[in-house]
Amino acid sequence: MESIPQHRWPAVSVRQPWAELLINGRKSIEIRTWSPEYRGRMWLHAGLKSDPELDRKFGFSDLYRGGFIGSIELIAVLPITEERWRQWQDKHLDPGSYQSGFVAWMMTGPRRFRVPVPGKGQRNLFYPTPDLVPQLNATEQTAELEEHGAVS
Protein backbone atom coordinates (compact mmCIF):
# COMPACT_ATOMS: atom_id res chain seq x y z
CA MET A 1 0.00 0.00 0.00
CA GLU A 2 1.32 3.42 -0.94
CA SER A 3 1.98 5.77 1.96
CA ILE A 4 0.25 9.12 2.26
CA PRO A 5 2.54 12.09 1.49
CA GLN A 6 3.22 14.08 4.65
CA HIS A 7 2.98 17.72 3.57
CA ARG A 8 4.26 20.30 6.02
CA TRP A 9 2.46 23.23 4.44
CA PRO A 10 1.71 26.41 6.31
CA ALA A 11 -1.90 27.42 6.85
CA VAL A 12 -3.81 30.65 6.63
CA SER A 13 -6.95 31.35 8.61
CA VAL A 14 -9.64 33.31 6.77
CA ARG A 15 -12.97 34.57 8.11
CA GLN A 16 -16.21 33.36 6.62
CA PRO A 17 -17.64 33.92 4.05
CA TRP A 18 -14.23 34.68 2.49
CA ALA A 19 -12.89 31.19 3.21
CA GLU A 20 -15.90 29.58 1.50
CA LEU A 21 -15.56 31.90 -1.49
CA LEU A 22 -11.89 30.94 -1.84
CA ILE A 23 -12.48 27.19 -1.54
CA ASN A 24 -15.36 27.20 -4.02
CA GLY A 25 -13.34 29.21 -6.55
CA ARG A 26 -15.54 32.32 -6.68
CA LYS A 27 -12.76 34.35 -5.05
CA SER A 28 -9.15 34.10 -6.22
CA ILE A 29 -7.59 37.11 -4.49
CA GLU A 30 -7.29 37.38 -0.71
CA ILE A 31 -6.72 40.93 0.55
CA ARG A 32 -4.12 41.26 3.32
CA THR A 33 -1.94 43.94 4.89
CA TRP A 34 1.18 41.76 4.89
CA SER A 35 3.17 39.79 2.38
CA PRO A 36 4.57 36.36 3.26
CA GLU A 37 7.78 35.03 1.75
CA TYR A 38 6.08 31.66 1.18
CA ARG A 39 4.60 30.68 -2.20
CA GLY A 40 2.95 27.33 -2.80
CA ARG A 41 0.14 25.13 -1.54
CA MET A 42 -1.21 25.86 1.94
CA TRP A 43 -3.96 24.65 4.21
CA LEU A 44 -7.08 26.85 4.24
CA HIS A 45 -8.54 27.33 7.70
CA ALA A 46 -12.03 28.80 8.20
CA GLY A 47 -11.81 31.08 11.22
CA LEU A 48 -14.33 31.23 14.04
CA LYS A 49 -15.48 34.75 13.16
CA SER A 50 -17.90 35.46 10.36
CA ASP A 51 -19.98 38.31 9.06
CA PRO A 52 -23.66 37.23 8.86
CA GLU A 53 -24.50 40.20 6.62
CA LEU A 54 -21.81 39.18 4.11
CA ASP A 55 -22.90 35.52 4.40
CA ARG A 56 -26.39 36.57 3.28
CA LYS A 57 -25.01 38.86 0.54
CA PHE A 58 -23.23 35.88 -1.02
CA GLY A 59 -26.16 33.50 -0.43
CA PHE A 60 -24.66 31.48 2.45
CA SER A 61 -25.94 30.36 5.82
CA ASP A 62 -24.43 28.08 8.48
CA LEU A 63 -20.92 28.08 7.00
CA TYR A 64 -18.36 25.85 8.67
CA ARG A 65 -16.10 27.67 11.14
CA GLY A 66 -13.18 26.64 13.31
CA GLY A 67 -11.22 24.22 11.17
CA PHE A 68 -9.46 23.31 7.95
CA ILE A 69 -11.70 23.18 4.88
CA GLY A 70 -9.14 22.37 2.20
CA SER A 71 -6.00 23.58 0.53
CA ILE A 72 -5.18 26.30 -1.96
CA GLU A 73 -2.09 27.55 -3.75
CA LEU A 74 -0.60 31.00 -3.22
CA ILE A 75 1.13 31.89 -6.49
CA ALA A 76 1.95 35.59 -6.07
CA VAL A 77 1.56 38.59 -3.78
CA LEU A 78 1.15 41.96 -5.48
CA PRO A 79 0.59 45.48 -4.16
CA ILE A 80 -2.90 46.82 -4.72
CA THR A 81 -3.28 50.16 -6.43
CA GLU A 82 -6.56 51.97 -6.83
CA GLU A 83 -6.68 50.83 -10.45
CA ARG A 84 -6.01 47.19 -9.55
CA TRP A 85 -8.66 47.36 -6.80
CA ARG A 86 -11.27 48.19 -9.42
CA GLN A 87 -9.90 45.81 -12.09
CA TRP A 88 -9.78 42.89 -9.67
CA GLN A 89 -13.14 43.54 -7.95
CA ASP A 90 -14.61 40.34 -9.42
CA LYS A 91 -11.66 38.34 -8.01
CA HIS A 92 -11.39 39.77 -4.47
CA LEU A 93 -15.15 40.46 -4.06
CA ASP A 94 -14.60 43.05 -1.32
CA PRO A 95 -17.50 45.53 -1.51
CA GLY A 96 -15.53 48.29 0.23
CA SER A 97 -13.64 51.12 -1.35
CA TYR A 98 -9.92 51.18 -2.09
CA GLN A 99 -7.53 51.80 0.83
CA SER A 100 -3.77 52.02 0.45
CA GLY A 101 -1.42 49.59 2.17
CA PHE A 102 -3.01 46.32 1.07
CA VAL A 103 -1.61 43.46 -0.99
CA ALA A 104 -3.34 40.87 -3.15
CA TRP A 105 -2.63 37.22 -2.47
CA MET A 106 -3.17 35.58 -5.85
CA MET A 107 -4.68 32.14 -5.19
CA THR A 108 -5.38 29.19 -7.46
CA GLY A 109 -6.25 25.49 -7.33
CA PRO A 110 -8.70 25.34 -4.42
CA ARG A 111 -9.24 21.79 -3.19
CA ARG A 112 -12.13 21.26 -0.75
CA PHE A 113 -12.14 18.59 1.92
CA ARG A 114 -15.28 16.46 1.89
CA VAL A 115 -15.28 16.67 5.70
CA PRO A 116 -13.54 19.62 7.40
CA VAL A 117 -10.81 18.93 9.94
CA PRO A 118 -11.47 20.78 13.23
CA GLY A 119 -8.51 22.77 14.52
CA LYS A 120 -7.43 26.11 15.87
CA GLY A 121 -6.39 28.93 13.60
CA GLN A 122 -3.81 31.62 14.21
CA ARG A 123 -2.81 35.00 12.85
CA ASN A 124 -0.34 35.16 9.97
CA LEU A 125 0.85 31.97 8.31
CA PHE A 126 1.07 29.15 10.82
CA TYR A 127 1.80 25.45 10.91
CA PRO A 128 -0.93 23.10 12.14
CA THR A 129 -0.13 21.18 15.30
CA PRO A 130 1.77 17.92 14.69
CA ASP A 131 -1.21 15.82 15.82
CA LEU A 132 -3.34 17.31 12.98
CA VAL A 133 -0.82 16.84 10.15
CA PRO A 134 -1.57 13.13 9.45
CA GLN A 135 -5.33 13.81 9.33
CA LEU A 136 -4.85 16.84 7.07
CA ASN A 137 -2.63 14.84 4.72
CA ALA A 138 -5.04 11.90 4.53
CA THR A 139 -7.94 14.27 3.87
CA GLU A 140 -5.89 16.14 1.25
CA GLN A 141 -5.02 12.90 -0.54
CA THR A 142 -8.72 11.94 -0.72
CA ALA A 143 -9.64 15.42 -1.99
CA GLU A 144 -6.92 15.24 -4.65
CA LEU A 145 -8.08 11.82 -5.81
CA GLU A 146 -11.69 13.09 -5.95
CA GLU A 147 -10.54 16.09 -7.98
CA HIS A 148 -9.01 13.71 -10.54
CA GLY A 149 -12.04 11.42 -10.58
CA ALA A 150 -10.26 8.50 -8.91
CA VAL A 151 -12.68 8.39 -5.94
CA SER A 152 -16.44 8.79 -5.90
pTM of the model: 0.91
Residues ≥6 apart with Cβ < 8 Å to 35: 77, 103
Residue pair 100/83 in contact (Cβ under 8 Å)? The answer is: no
Predicted pLDDT at 1:
39
Cβ(121)–Cβ(48) below 8 Å:
yes
Please say whether the beta carbons of 105 and 77 come within 8 A. Answer: yes
Residues of the chain with pLDDT under 70: 1-6, 150-152
Residue 5: predicted pLDDT:
61
Q: Looking at the domain that runs over 11-135, which CATH code has it been given?
A: 2.30.130.30
Q: Which of 69, 56, 63, 71 is nearest to 118 (CA)?
A: 69
